[in-house]
Chains A and B, each alone.
Chain A
Amino acid sequence: MISTIALHKLAKLRHSRMILIYIIGCGCISLLTILPVILMGVVSGNRTVGADTALMYFAFARFFGLVAALMLGATLWRQDEKDGTLLTFMARPLSRIELLVGKSLGCLYALLIYLGAVVAFYMIAHLLFFRFSIPLSFPLYLIQELQFYLVYFAAGAFFSSLLNPLLAATAVLGWAFLALLAKIFLSLSPAWCRVLGKGFRFLSLDSDISYSVQALFTADIPTVMPLFKGITYYLLWSILLFSAAVVLFNRREFAGRRS
């Protein structure tokens, strides 16, 4: 039953005009950024482009993935509540946990497709235009990327149990700004500031222990430990936030639409 709900959620996302516009928008912005570099390489005949282009590409992919994950989390069941379709699901012999897990699984499929598309475009670009090595830690990096999306997805789902989707997304982004606060406090010399800075960093959903895009292209297998740490960090946050979202969903009452 969970997989049925998941596939339905994926089909619903596929038919969502908003998602379609978002994907096309992301693609256009990414192309506008990378296209000049590709053209330069093609025109000059020097098709070996440095890691900078790849960094830019993955940085964009991460940002758009984050926003997509956040949107999916914030509208996980809110959209169904708004359009009145949630009640029909709830009337079936499903526990609310199954319902939420099924819908989340549908979103996970969507994020996997997104990540798959990011990798596929990268590979095509690599074959056609760029020539640089793909690090061996690349698969681990992708796992961490997925975890990164999932933590934002879970945060969106959690906050949407308390706030409307727009406010929920704003709250998550506000929360993520703790990373900035962490940097400020960590740059200060008093010991208590550094302790506070570390605390903010841990809470920021983007801990310093996570593996950056930069690290992907400058390090290799011997230095993959931060990557494992990053995956663990995001995994723990995802579980914590999603569990809280499930608890809140389970305690929630829904109002049906009235004629």
Chain B
Amino acid sequence: MTPALRFDNLAKTYRERGAGKRALNGISFAVEAGEIVGFLGPNGAGKTTAMHVLMDILFPTSGSAEIIGLDSRDPESRQNVGFLPEVFAFDGFLTGMRFLKLFGSLSGRNLDLVAAHIPELLAFLDMPDAANVRIKNYSKGMTQKIGLAQALIGDPQILILDEPTSGMDPIAKARIKQLFIKLRSEGKTVFLSTHILSDVEDIADRVAIINQGELLAYDRVSSLLAANKRGFKIVFAGGDAGLPSALVGCAISNDSQGRTEVSCPDPKSRDFALQTILQHGGDIISLKTLGGSLQSQFLRLMHQEGLSDD
């Protein structure tokens, strides 16, 4: 099956005075249709460059980028794509309705269908009254939402979104997460760049992590998390005198507040420790997975392991 998006040994060097600046250094990976893929990396890693190559805004120095098997230089490749740039800007004199109609018609969709889709879309984005308001009067969050709406107008099969929830409030962010999950259930592909790793961890099927133009990892979220797990930490209080000696296979320490911390290397010892604590009358305060978050894996890959163990 043809992947929705494919980067094949893609390299991009910006021409600058003197030496060129290498933004992408031969990255290769494919995004399968119907998946949510998080595209992660620190600022200046090359995420936006890769997305702009997909959109034919930038040209590859070598290698190629494809959308549903078509080279990104072919305008047809963007037939089924919705794109939200990192900083969305549009002519402020247009109302939300006119703006969305304009981009709906540029997608080659039937204008009546587009017009029918707009109120539903705006309602979902919690801005039903914005249709007749000029974009120049929108707040930052609303501008971002209308940008997202223009990416969604015309019902594209692939969404390429560069920091889609930037400037949105937590409620809007939660709605957008729901939206991505809904789109995936409809068989659509979402390729998003974001710095909110917890969101990616929650909803993405796979993540691609790049730094300085190099692809460091491309894998399922579950695989990345499993590879990075370093055990569990249980915090409890109370319990009888025999409890510490009963916690076989776990490291025990006391914190300054008189609570006991138990570190277990694997799920089996964790389950045993939980059962033992309860049997000996202890009160479990918290249970945490050590090093299992996407953020910690991300930081580890960025050579900053240990900064966010919790």
- A residues adjacent to B (C-beta < 8 A): 1, 4-5, 8, 11-12, 15, 83-85, 87-95, 98, 253-254, 256-259
Contact = CB atoms under 8 A, between A and B. Distances in A.
Contact of A258 (B57, B87, B88): B87
B55 A257 contact: no
B105 A93 contact: no
Nearest to B83: A91
A258 B86 contact: yes
B91 A15 contact: yes
Interface stretch (B28-36, B73-81, B119-127, B231-239): B73-81
A11 B90 CA distance: 13
Q: Which of B52, B94, B166 has the most CB of A within 10 A?
A: B52
Given A91-B81, A94-B75, A85 B90 contact: yes
B78 A91 contact: yes
B163 A259 contact: yes
B56 A89 contact: no
A92 B78 CA distance: 6
Contact of A1 (B59, B77, B87, B105): B105
A84 B87 contact: yes
Interface in B275-296: none
Contacts of B56: 90
Q: Which of A84, A87, A89 has the most CB of B within 10 A?
A: A87
Report, nearest first, the 4 A-B pairs whose CB atoms are least far apart.
A84-B89, A91-B83, A15-B93, A257-B87
A92 B103 contact: yes
Interface in B138-194: 147, 150, 163, 166
Given A5-B106, A12-B93, A259-B166, A90 B59 contact: no
B57 A93 contact: no
B87 A89 contact: no
A4 B57 contact: no
A257 B89 contact: yes
24 contacts: A1-B105, A1-B106, A1-B108, A12-B93, A83-B91, A84-B85, A84-B87, A84-B89, A85-B89, A87-B85, A88-B85, A91-B55, A91-B78, A92-B103, A92-B106, A92-B107, A93-B75, A93-B76, A93-B108, A94-B106, A95-B75, A256-B48, A256-B87, A258-B48
Contacts of B83: 87-88, 91
Contact of A83 (B82, B89, B166): B89
Given A90-B56, A259-B163, 9 more contacts: A11-B94, A88-B89, A92-B103, A92-B106, A93-B79, A94-B78, A254-B52, A257-B87, A257-B89
A258 B82 CA distance: 19
- Main secondary structure on chain A at its contact with chain B? loop
Interface residues of B, number: 34
Interface string B237-263: 000000000000000000000000000
A257 B87 CA distance: 6
Contacts of B57: 87, 90-91, 253-254, 256
A239 to B, nearest CB: 23
B102 interface: yes
- Main secondary structure on chain B at its contact with chain A? loop
Nearest to B51: A256
A105 to B, nearest CB: 15
B150 A11 contact: no
Contact of A4 (B59, B88, B102): B102
Nearest to A5: B106
B299 interface: no
A5 B88 CA distance: 19
B58 interface: yes
Contacts of B107: 92-93
Given A11-B93, A93-B79, A256 B52 contact: yes
Nearest to A253: B58
A173 B87 CA distance: 35
A88 B58 contact: no
A87 to B, nearest CB: 5
A218 B93 CA distance: 47
Contacts of A256: 48, 52, 57, 85-87
Contacts of B89: 83-85, 88, 257
A70 B289 CA distance: 65
A9 B147 CA distance: 19
Given A256-B85, A256-B87, A257-B87, A89 B163 contact: no
Contacts of A257: 85-87, 89
Nearest to B82: A91
A188 to B, nearest CB: 44
Contacts of A258: 48, 86-87
A88 B87 contact: no
Given A91-B81, A95-B75, A259 B86 contact: yes
